């Protein structure tokens, strides 16, 4: 996706000519045999379990184990304020996405423009990306504890302590901020790769014309990096929806007051702690549908944006 597609001068590689439809039967079957592994993997290890899971979500838990209960689990799910909180938090994540993309974008721009110490920053920014979420979570749990160093620092400035992980209005944003801190290094690298394809002469021209830094960013850098930005948007969204579990588990355990639940955490609690695997299956199916909608919407937006660009 981040491949340089901006150079129309390069000829598209010519596809191999289609072989003539002839030859022995074995030769005609060979393509099928070659596709078979991929198809079998997808069908046997992806689609079939998916069907089983969806089917399982229509059965009951506990005393009604194995009994078909229709849409009962889904009714329970959407009546559960906790699951609704989890969905609301997914919505919040989508809203916070531009911030999560803008931070590495801006920092990459500064590195590309060779601010003093840019080599150091490049390494330092990437460093958290190699840490496990559990370690990151544990570090920030200590830093953000009520009697922790951050509140100590604020107290020194005469500001009241904030219960960063204990206030339901604050905790979710704190966890997202930590997630962004921990993962933006990867997006930064993608941005830097995108910058490598940037046409230096455009920047020089902008400088000659006397463009300010914001003008350069807006009229030269952003349009040239459309593809990269789209790619980072998609991967960041996926990262937020699928890999916050470790942080949530360590930092808030879904609390306070259930305010930091995400669907995957909800699924885990229902399955592991509350022993309701069928309800968890229903939640998984719902999450799958949400991801499908978000994914399709992103592809549609990408197509439209790409169409405008080309």
Q: Select the span of 205-213, 237-245, 254-262, 292-300 touching other proteins (CB under 8 A).
A: 254-262
Closest distance of CB 102 from other proteins, Å: 29
Q: Which residue shows structure tokens 């790409």?
A: 306
Residues listed for the chain: 310
Binding flag, residue 47, other proteins (CB under 8 A) = no
Burial of 182 (0-12, 13-18, 19+ CB in 10 A): buried
Q: Which two tokens stand for residue 231?
A: 């790619």
Cβ proximity to other proteins, 68 vs 102, nearer residue: 68
Q: Does 197 bind other proteins (CB under 8 A)?
A: no
Position 164 contacts other proteins (CB under 8 A): yes
Figure out which of the listed residues 89, 224, 252, 285 binds other proteins, where binding follows CB under 8 A: 252
> Binding to other proteins by residue 166, rule CB under 8 A?
yes
Give the chain's end-to-end CA distance (angstroms, integer).
Answer: 14
Q: Which letter, b or e, does each residue of 118-138 get, where b requires 16 or more Cβ atoms within 10 Å of its Cβ?
A: eeebbeebeebbeeebeebbe
Piece of the chain touching other proteins by CB under 8 A; list 121-129, 141-149, 197-205, 229-237? 141-149
Listed ranges 96-104, 197-205, 212-220, 255-263: which one lies at the site for other proteins (CB under 8 A): 255-263
Cα–Cα dist 199/189, whole Å: 18
- Name the minimum Å distance from CB 8 to other proteins: 38
- Sign of the C-alpha dihedral, residues 301, 307, 308, 310? positive
**Is the bond preceding residue 256 a cis peptide, omega within 30 degrees?**
yes
Beta bridge partners of 174: none
Q: What residues line the site for other proteins (CB under 8 A)? A: 24, 26-27, 30, 33-34, 36-37, 40-41, 44-45, 62, 65, 82, 144-147, 161, 163-168, 171, 252-253, 255-258, 268-269, 271-275, 277
């Amino acid at each position: 996706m981040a491949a340089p597609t901006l150079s129309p001068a390069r000829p598209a590689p010519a596809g191999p000519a289609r072989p003539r439809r002839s030859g022995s039967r074995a030769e005609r079957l060979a393509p099928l045999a070659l596709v078979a592994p991929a198809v079998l993997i997808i069908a046997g290890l992806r689609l079939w379990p998916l069907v089983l899971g969806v089917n399982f979500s229509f059965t009951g838990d506990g005393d009604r184990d194995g009994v078909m209960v229709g849409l009962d689990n889904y009714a329970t799910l959407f009546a559960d304020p906790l699951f609704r909180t989890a969905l609301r938090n997914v919505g919040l994540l989508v809203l916070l996405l531009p911030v999560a993309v803008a931070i590495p974008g801006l920092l990459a721009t500064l590195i590309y423009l060779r601010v003093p110490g840019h080599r150091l920053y490049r390494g330092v920014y990437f460093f958290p990306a190699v840490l496990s979420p559990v370690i990151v979570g544990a570090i920030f749990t200590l830093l953000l504890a009520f009697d922790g160093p951050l509140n100590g620092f604020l107290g020194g400035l005469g500001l009241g302590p904030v219960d960063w992980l204990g206030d339901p209005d604050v905790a979710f944003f704190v966890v997202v901020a930590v997630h962004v801190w921990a993962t933006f290094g990867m997006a930064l690298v993608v941005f830097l790769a995108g910058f490598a394809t940037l046409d230096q002469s455009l920047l020089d021209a902008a400088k000659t014309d006397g463009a300010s830094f914001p003008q350069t960013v807006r009229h030269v850098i952003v349009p040239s990096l459309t593809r990269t930005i789209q790619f980072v948007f998609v991967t960041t969204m996926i990262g937020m929806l699928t890999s916050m579990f470790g942080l949530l588990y360590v930092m808030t355990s879904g609390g306070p007051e259930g305010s930091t639940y995400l669907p995957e955490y909800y699924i885990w609690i229902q399955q592991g702690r509350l022993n309701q695997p069928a309800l968890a299956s229903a939640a998984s199916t719902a999450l799958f549908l949400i991801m499908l909608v978000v994914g399709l919407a992103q592809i549609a937006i990408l197509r439209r944006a790409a169409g405008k660009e080309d």
